[in-house]
């Protein structure tokens, strides 16, 4: 549970067994196994805890240990050893009822060994097409506890993509809900687990300096940038099906929501989700003309990537303007861009304050005097730019910045990283940082008109040099409004 400690609240999971489906896959190796190792090594995992890794690949114990140690190496040897002491492997046949009987027996034995008492977190790191059949077979095997089942509980974590269209997303959702209700479904978006993202609401709630100026009276516009240095890196078959918009829109909308939502009365799930629901309700879906104005780009080298179809129009870059029709934000555009092979890796949010309307600095062409920047990755820090007098006898203005290296303090405190934090929250039964079904539906309601506009004959696809900040059309998006990207 999330228990109050003085002026803080700390996530303290009860005992828990994690069952990782797709344990030999890429996602498990890159993100989930290192996170589990990190929790064990940092002493953040529950006292009574185990992890059962489930995969199709046949692995004996030495081969499993070698694979697990390699995946957890980034967390450090001590963390890897701490996880190995609580880890088991079970070869899977996801379509066989006999496998689920074997799984049930294995879980009962692990529960008894580790004192967990049927508190189970099922992580489906599998293709979305497998979500429904796995969940239904878990239910048929009696492995999914009913909500309100006393000391016993079961939860399911799923990863994006949540479908490839509104229709497929709704089908995926309804399929899962044949097995479990919404209260037991945890849709993960790792951006919500990042310390800087979580700090946005904390900064506003605790510091009137920000909350009192976090509105259309003081802000000129907001920019959100999500750039990746790498290209598709061997994932062309996935990317050809999805494209960047489908792949990244969940991240983008979560950053926009946490930035723009009104402050909840508290930071528990229902209060938090209600304000997010109100935010999404205030964002108009793009009409045909607006949808056609979304900038679609492709890095020049994409056509030569192995597995890319000849003449592919799959986008690797997206830029658009998002509007929010409520009293706080009306008239403040959100300019958003995301791309692969777009220079150095960076995710950031910039809030540009309005230029002075009077005084010595008014009327000058020196850009925005105040920009509040939240760097989310690769480094996590905050900065506030301002204009001050330049040292010396001359009366000159010069830009300065105040910086808070947030991640350095988080590392000193042994804070969990994004996946570690989200695993902790799921173990504790707190859905605050996970996506609700209404968010998934909004994502596709918003994106569908754009995808339809891009399917029209002659819809522009703007090429951009590998390693650049995107096509010129993305710059023009702001230049039309007399602004530029930071």
Any idea which residues carry the catalytic annotation? 251
Residue 231 and residue 455 in contact, taking contact as beta carbons nearer than 8 Å = no
> 398: which strand partners?
388
**Are the beta carbons of 75 and 37 closer than 8 angstroms?**
yes
Spatial contact of 164 and 242, defined as CB atoms under 8 Å apart = yes
Indicate the pairing of strand 346-353 with strand 87-91: unpaired
Closest residue by Cα to residue 272 from 335, 223, 351, 200: 200
By residue count, the chain amounts to 486
Alpha carbons 322 and 221: distance in angstroms, whole number: 11
- Closest residue by Cα to residue 249 from 412, 482, 388, 444: 444
User: Roughly what angle, to the nearest 10 degrees, separates helices 77-84 and 33-41?
Assistant: 100
């Amino acid at each position: 549970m999330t228990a109050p400690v003085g002026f803080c609240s700390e996530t303290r999971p009860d005992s828990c067994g994690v069952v990782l489906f797709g344990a030999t896959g890429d996602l498990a190796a890159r993100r989930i196994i290192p996170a589990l190792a990190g929790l064990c090594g940092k002493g953040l995992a529950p006292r009574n805890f185990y992890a059962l890794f489930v995969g199709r690949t046949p692995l004996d114990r030495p081969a499993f240990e070698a694979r697990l140690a390699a995946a957890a190496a980034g967390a450090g040897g001590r963390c890897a050893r701490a996880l190995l002491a609580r880890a088991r492997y079970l070869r899977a046949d996801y379509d066989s009822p006999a496998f689920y009987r074997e799984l049930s027996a294995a879980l009962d034995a692990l529960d008894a060994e580790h004192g967990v008492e049927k508190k189970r977190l099922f992580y489906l790191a599998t293709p979305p097409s497998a979500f429904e059949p796995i969940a239904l077979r878990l239910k048929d095997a009696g492995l999914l506890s009913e909500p309100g089942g006393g000391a016993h509980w079961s939860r399911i974590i799923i990863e994006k993509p949540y479908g490839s269209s509104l229709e497929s997303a709704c089908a995926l959702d309804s399929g899962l809900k044949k097995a479990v209700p919404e209260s037991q479904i945890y849709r993960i978006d790792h951006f919500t687990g990042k310390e800087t993202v979580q700090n946005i609401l904390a900064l506003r709630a605790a510091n009137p300096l920000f909350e009192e100026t976090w509105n259309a009276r003081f802000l000129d516009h907001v920019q959100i940038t999500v750039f990746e240095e790498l290209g598709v890196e061997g994932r062309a078959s996935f990317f050809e099906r999805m494209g960047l918009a489908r792949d990244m829109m969940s991240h983008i909308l979560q950053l926009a929501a946490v930035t723009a939502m009104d402050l909840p009365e508290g930071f528990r799930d229902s209060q938090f989700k209600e304000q997010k629901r109100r935010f999404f309700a205030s964002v108009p879906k793009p009409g045909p003309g607006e949808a056609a104005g979304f900038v679609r780009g492709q890095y020049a080298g994409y056509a030569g990537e192995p597995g890319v179809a000849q003449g592919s129009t799959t986008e690797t870059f997206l830029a658009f303007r998002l509007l929010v029709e409520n009293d706080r934000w009306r008239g403040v555009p959100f300019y958003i861009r995301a791309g692969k092979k777009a220079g150095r890796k960076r995710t950031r949010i910039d809030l540009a304050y309005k230029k002075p309307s009077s005084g010595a600095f008014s009327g000058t062409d020196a850009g925005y005097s105040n920009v509040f920047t939240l760097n989310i990755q690769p480094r996590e820090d905050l900065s506030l730019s301002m204009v001050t007098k330049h040292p010396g006898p001359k009366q000159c203005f010069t830009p300065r910045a105040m910086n808070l290296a947030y991640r350095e303090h988080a590392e000193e405190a042994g804070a969990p990283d994004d996946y570690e934090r989200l695993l902790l929250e799921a173990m504790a039964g707190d859905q605050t940082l996970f996506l609700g079904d209404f968010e998934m539906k909004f994502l596709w309601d918003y994106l569908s008109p754009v995808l339809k506009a891009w399917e029209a004959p002659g819809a522009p696809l703007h090429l951009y040099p590998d390693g650049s900040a995107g096509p010129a059309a993305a710059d023009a998006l702001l230049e039309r409004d007399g602004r530029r990207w930071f």
